[in-house]
Amino acid sequence: MDHEAFLQEVLTFTEEEEVYRKVYGLRSQPVALKNYFAEIEDYVREHILFFAEFPFIQIPAVFTDDHFTPRHDLAGTAHADIVRHLRYTPVFEYSCTFFEVLYILHGSCGHQLGEEHYTLHQGDLAFIAPGTKRTIEVFDESVVLSLHIRRDTFENDFFNILRGGNLISDFFISSLYSQNPPANMLFPTGDDTEIRDLFLDLYRESLINDSFSQNLLDNLIPVLFVTLLRRHEKDVIIGRRPLSDPGTGRMRILSYISDHYQTATLSGTAAAFHYSPEHTTRLIRLETGKGFNAFLRDVRLGRAQQLLTGSQLSISAISSMIGYENPESFIRVFEKVYGISPARYRKQPVWFSEASSGTGMAGS
């Protein structure tokens, strides 16, 4: 199927959207609305539709990896998933523990991000940092695709194609480690059909959902990001931090440490940027609130989390891979920071991620 034909399929209202649309149209008719709710109660339960009138369906205030589409087992090894925002869904505020990339495939949508409300237009592509409160409002034929990416994906080889310092890499690193990260980053791509078709390919692959789908998603997303940088890097709008902010230079240091976390040293990092160790430490602390050692530890432990849940490597092997000389040191640091052993974390990562969401790591 070509992209234009698939686009027409995507623009067609689903059965769930028809229910949402009918409820929206009946809001001014209380009696008719009550009768319709009685008619669709079983359907709402089965399809988990969000209506305040049905309190047995709980809308999470915070969406975690466990709320990703279950078919991809995102609590396990999958890095990302892409879904379509159902039109006419009642507006509710939420935040995510993962990164969200919104793409306006068709039309426009209202978007509340923190205290700001604005409209996203066709072709707009918005990166949104974890923990940012937002709403999405679609009450017409517009179509919004939502790409979800796990936080720990950045420590994975999945993002190797973005290493070396660029706007997208800087956004992810800043969102994960900075004291004052940008809440969002917007690429207004307009009528760029190359970007549109890449999103359609991603969404179509998520619907195919065969044994190859996750590998294809993992390969298509970096291609999307590199294409985005190639074609629209100069058009980007970054949340609270303008491109001229000197903090974006500090991102290069954080990126360097993130890339070389296995062997990075303070003296080696300073030499790479022709700074003194003291000045390098000062820049890292300005950006993250932590010293070199604490920041390096956070990066290493982030990679360790991904390896614990996404591989069968032994604790000893993981310890060596992330730069610790002996497993005992790794286990001691992991337990100090997270209050749980690596072995126990491996057995219950979903519980742990939900229980510790937003707590951050220990300071320097």
Alpha-carbon separation of residue 250 from 136, 172, 174, 206 (angstroms): 32, 14, 10, 36
pLDDT at 167: 83
Report whether pLDDT(179) > 90: no
Stronger pLDDT, 60 or 256, i.e. the higher one? 256
Mapped onto helix, strand or coil, the DSSP state of residue 276 is coil
Q: What is the rounded CA–CA span in Å between residue 194 and residue 139?
A: 27
pLDDT at 11: 96
Stronger pLDDT, 145 or 211, i.e. the higher one? 145
- For the chain, what percent of residues have pLDDT higher than 70? 85
- Name the residue with tokens 């954080």: 254
State the burial class of residue 211 (Cβ atoms within 10 Å of its Cβ: 0-12, 13-18, 19+): exposed
pLDDT at 68: 56
Q: What is the rounded CA–CA span in Å between residue 239 and residue 167?
A: 12
Report whether pLDDT(78) > 80: no
- The dihedrals phi and psi of 198, each to the nearest 5 degrees, come to -65, -40
pLDDT at 350: 46
Stronger pLDDT, 356 or 46, i.e. the higher one? 46
pLDDT at 355: 40
State the burial class of residue 246 (Cβ atoms within 10 Å of its Cβ: 0-12, 13-18, 19+): exposed
Q: What is the rounded CA–CA span in Å between residue 197 and residue 227?
A: 12
Q: List domains and CATH numbers for the chain.
A: 57-238 (2.60.120.280), 247-355 (1.10.10.60)
Strand pairing partners for 112? 117, 135
Residue 163: which pLDDT band, with cuts at 50, 70 and 90? low
Q: What is the rounded CA–CA span in Å between residue 15 and residue 181?
A: 39
What digits encode the pLDDT tens for the residues 222-270? 899 999 999 999 988 886 554 445 455 688 898 889 888 999 999 999 9
Position 123, amino acid:
G
Instruction: Look up residue 145 and give its two tokens.
Output: 């695709």
Average pLDDT, the chain: 85
pLDDT at 353: 45
> Can you give the pTM of this predicted structure?
0.81
Report whether pLDDT(359) > 60: no
What digits encode the pLDDT tens for the residues 198-213? 999 999 999 998 888 8
What digits encode the pLDDT tens for the residues 298-354? 999 988 987 887 788 999 999 999 999 899 999 999 999 999 999 998 887 544 444
